[in-house]
Amino acid sequence: MIEIKDIHKTFGENYVLKGISAKFEAGDNNLIIGGSGSGKTTLLKCMVGLHEPDQGSVLYDGRDFTRLNFKERIEIRKEIGMLFQSSALFDSMTVEENIMFPLNMFTDQPRREKLKRVNFCLERVNLEGKNKLYPAELSGGMKKRVGIARAISMQPKYLFVDEPNSGLDPKTSIVIDDLINEITEEYQIVTVVVTHDMNSVMGIGESIIFLYEGQKEWEGSNKEIAHSDNKNLNDFVFASKFTQAAREKL
Ligand SMILES: Nc1ncnc2c1ncn2[C@@H]1O[C@H](COP(=O)(O)OP(=O)(O)OP(=O)(O)O)[C@@H](O)[C@H]1O
């Protein structure tokens, strides 16, 4: 489990996170939703140490990341898989090299072992045999899948994903959501996903926190969203006339 306690973050005069606390359980798809600028990515970055929170703590199965020194943090980082916006693949590296990158960085396994793991991960995301392709030769959905393969290469206990559906068509988005969902359950990972995508929210949102103006405005499951009377949440989730009409039929 990851627990965040009273996270605050300001950038200059901009008070972005105003005391966020939440728990993210293993085996669940934990979603962070909220309007543009509400602080979702900032929260994710505070959790993985890409930003230092001004106040608060981030506990990885009881280990307080915010109080650890650089060396101690590396031990937790090895247990973290990340898929951030636009897949962030290295364009000059092949698919195989991209997936092997964390293994090269964090392990001294023989190449044969690493290759075995790369092939396993590629198979897991249904891209077996695509080892020698370059990112430029892949579709957006394939790039995301390579990003997922790389994120799970170190068999992470924790997986952070920022906007996995950006730039994908609705059908491919569902393939990616399903993949994240399956991997989370199969390996009992603590998965935290930042998303704008309402299909994802309704499809895989077992555990959701909704940020509004830097605070946790609401938390619950996708099933609870439809019946929530939180106005800010409803204005966000059911923003269009079409979704409002759909909600009334639920
Ligand atoms: N590195 C930074 N330096 C200064 N301000 C930042 C930085 N990162 C984010 N911000 C500010 O923090 C606020 C929240 O940004 P953040 O990216 O966390 O929002 P978000 O909810 O993820 O938005 P979006 O859905 O549009 O990606 C914004 O006002 C943004 O300008």
| 3-state per-residue secondary structure call for the chain | CEEEEEEEEEECCEEEEEEEEEEECCCCEEEEEECCCCCHHHHHHHHHCCCCCCEEEEEECCEEHHHCCHHHHHHHHCCEEEECCCCCCCCCCCHHHHHHHHHHHHCCCCHHHHHHHHHHHHHHCCCCCCCCCCHHHCCHHHHHHHHHHHHCCCCCCEEEEECCCCCCCHHHHHHHHHHHHHHHHHCCCEEEEECCCHHHHHHHCCEEEEEECCEEEEEECHHHHCCCCCHHHHHHHCCCHHHHHHHHHC
Q: What whole-number percentage of the chain has pLDDT above 70?
A: 98
Query: Which pLDDT value is given to residue 86?
Result: 60
- What Rg value do the Cα atoms of the chain yield, rounded? 18
Residue of the CA atom closest to atom 4 of ligand 1: 11
**Distance from Cα 61 to the centre of ligand 1, integer Å:** 27
**pLDDT at position 168, please?**
86
Top mutation candidate among 8, 11, 236 for ligand 1, by most atoms within 8 Å of CB: 11
Which pLDDT band, with edges at 50, 70 and 90, does 146 fall under?
Answer: very high
Q: 159-174: per-residue pLDDT in tens?
A: 999 998 888 888 888 9
Ligand 1 centre from 130 Cα, in Å?
35
> Ligand 1 site: residues with CB under 6 angstroms?
11, 14, 16, 34, 36-42, 196
The protein residue whose alpha carbon is closest to atom 18 in ligand 1 is 39
Going by CA atoms, what residue is nearest to atom 3 of ligand 1? 11
* Ligand 1: nearest atom to the Cα of 163: 27
Query: Given the CA of residue 12, which atom of ligand 1 is nearest to it?
Result: 4
**Which residue in the block uniquely carries the two structure tokens 């959905």?**
141
Task: Work out the pLDDT band at 158, boundaries 50, 70, 90.
Answer: very high
If you average pLDDT over every residue of the chain, what do you get? 92
Query: Is residue 88's pLDDT more than 90?
Result: no
ipTM over 0.95: yes
Give the start-to-end residue ranges of the domains of the chain.
Answer: 23-51+68-79+158-250, 88-155
Q: What is the pLDDT of residue 165?
A: 87
Class of domain 23-51+68-79+158-250 (CATH, top level): alpha beta
Q: Which of 23-27, 139-143, 175-179, 240-244 has the lowest mean pLDDT?
A: 240-244
Residue-wise pLDDT for 38-86, tens only, equals 999 999 999 999 999 999 999 999 999 999 999 999 999 999 999 987 6
Of 212, 229, 226, the closest CA to residue 32 belongs to 212
How close is the Cα of 158 to the center of ligand 1, in Å? Answer: 23
- Closest residue by CA, ligand 1 atom 9: 42
